[in-house]
Every structure is written in C-alpha cells, then in structure tokens.
Amino acid sequence: MRTFSTRSAAPLLASSILSTAATACFLIPSPAHAHAVAGDRVFPSTLSVDDPGVGDEANFQYGHQRVPGDNGDQSINTFDAEYDKLITPRLAVSVGETYVMQNNAKARGFDNLDVGVKYLLYVNDAHEFMTSVGLDAEIGGTGSHAIADSFSTLSPTIFAGKGMGDLPDSLAYLRPIAITGEAGPALTTGACQPNAFNYGFTVQYSLPYLQQHVHDLGLPQPLSNIVPLVEVPLSRSQGQTTGTVNPGFIWINRYGQFGVEAQIPINRASGSHVGILVQAHIFFDDVAPNTIGKPLFQ
C-alpha cells in the first residue's frame, strides 16, 4: 500500500534492502502464484505505483534520487520497510516506515509512521481484471523533526489492473501485456499546507505469462520469470505536475520478487538526475499460508 509523498516538489519514493535469509528464499525457482491474481494473470507488486491486489507480504526498498531543494539540489536516499497483514482474504492493513538521508542538508532520520487499509472490491478472472480501494495515513509528528512533517496526510486511493489475456488468437503475443493504475488525493491536515492529487500507471510485459499461456520459447532461468515494465508515478499540486518515468524489470517467483527501476524525472521540478529504485518483496501468503500468511478471519 505504498503512496506518493508530497513533502518535496518531487515524490519521495519509499525504499529498503532485503535480508540475506529472504534473498536465499527468492532463489528457489518456482512458478509465480502471488497474491494479486485474476484468472491466469499475476500482477506483481510494483515499486512506484501500487498493484490492485491485497496480500500478506513484506516489502523492502532502497531509493536514490536528486531533487531540487532550498539550498540547491539534494541527494536523497530512502530505506523503506512495509508489512501488510490480511484481516480477511479481501481486506488487508499495513504499517510502514522510511529512513531518509538528505546529503546536502545533512539531515537524516525516520519519516512519519505510515498506516493503511485496502479492500479488494472486484475480480473478473475471464478478463483478468481486478480493482480495490484503500486509505493511507501518514501520521504527522511521529518521525524525526529534521525529516518528517508535523501535519498528517490522508490518501484515499482507487487501484485497478487489466491483463490482455482475452485478446484474440491473432494478437496472442500481446496477451502478456498488463496495465495497472492508481489515483487519489493526498489531503493534508496542516493549515495552509497544499493538497495534491497523486496518480500513476504501469505497463508490463510478463515473460512468465508468455511462456505458460502463449508460447513456450524455452527461455532459461532467470529470464523466464522476468516482467519488464515501465511505471509512471505522478503528482499534481499547486498547478504543477511532478513525477518520473521508471523503466525496469521485476523477477518474480512463488515466494517473492526482486525489482530494479531507473527514475527519469519528467521535468526540473521532479529531479535533476536519473535515480534508482531497488525492491525485494516476500509473499507470506505463499511462504507460510497456514501460519503467518493466513488471514485472521476466513
């Protein structure tokens, strides 16, 4: 349940590094059976624009970006950890925290605590479509004074995903394509603090889908489990749009995934250099479906 931050002119994207034990788990080759499933389609947990599914999972990301600041460009490194817990098979709650380092200002510390709830509204297996709604809250004053805002931000969001598996046979090689998106306002509680409207989309081409449901090209590991994609997270506030175009890939298997993306600013207000995002993700609903990954209520 990741959301865009509205602290600076460019969205600060959450991030962190996976532990050695979890990485070892990822190296087990296996077909993908992740939580966000509609028919034959698996929507991976994308790095910048949240996927439309709910699940029992942990997300770790590291991000680096240079953005404009009051004293010139700032180099920002973020280390993020988030845990999502299924309450029912369709309802999940989340808690996340981000450690931020701003090099030029030499400010560092934890951002505000982030909590959220997300509900899976609808799944159409035949047309590989799913949609959900969520509410994310960044709780003001819970982070470092050097980094975090004193006010809170509430972000109601709608999420959707559509796979192209229902295309005709003449377009079979387009069936691995999927599009996901999210949109919603970021409403601040601070006096005179600007609100924002955050939105974004992804375009993906799933090689696992190609191999399993279109034509087996005999791709070796790890290529057969890779999903090349482009994410476009955007935010509009006070008449200005900021955001990035993020080409990259996700390697996914049954128990988790690993992703890398570049962050290309769309304008000067969004950043001055190409940044990077690195993600590691664990699907507890597949790693331990009868214990930690089991919904609290069926």
**C-alpha to C-alpha distance for 246 and 279, rounded to whole angstroms:** 13
Any idea where the domains of the chain sit in the sequence? 20-287
Q: How much is the mean pLDDT over the chain?
A: 89
pLDDT in tens, 30-81: 443 457 999 999 999 999 999 999 999 999 999 999 887 777 788 999 999 9
Average pLDDT over residues 167-184: 98
Closest to 61 in 3D by CA, of 222, 207, 221, 231: 231
Query: Residue 173: phi, psi to the nearest 5?
Result: -75, -5
| pTM for this model (two decimals) | 0.88
Is the pLDDT reported for residue 23 higher than 90?
no
Contact between 54 and 163 (Cβ < 8 Å) = no
The terminus-to-terminus CA distance of the chain in angstroms comes to 21
Is the pLDDT reported for residue 186 higher than 60?
yes
> Residue 243's Cα: distance from chain center in Å?
15
CATH of 20-287, one of 3.40.50.20, 2.50.20.10, 2.40.160.40, 3.30.70.260: 2.40.160.40
pLDDT score recorded for residue 72: 74
Number of C-beta neighbours around residue 20 at 10 A: 7
Of the chain, the percentage scoring pLDDT greater than 90 comes to: 82
Is the pLDDT reported for residue 252 higher than 80?
yes
Is the pLDDT reported for residue 85 higher than 50?
yes
pLDDT in tens, 204-236: 999 999 999 999 999 999 999 999 999 999 999
Contact between 10 and 91 (Cβ < 8 Å) = no
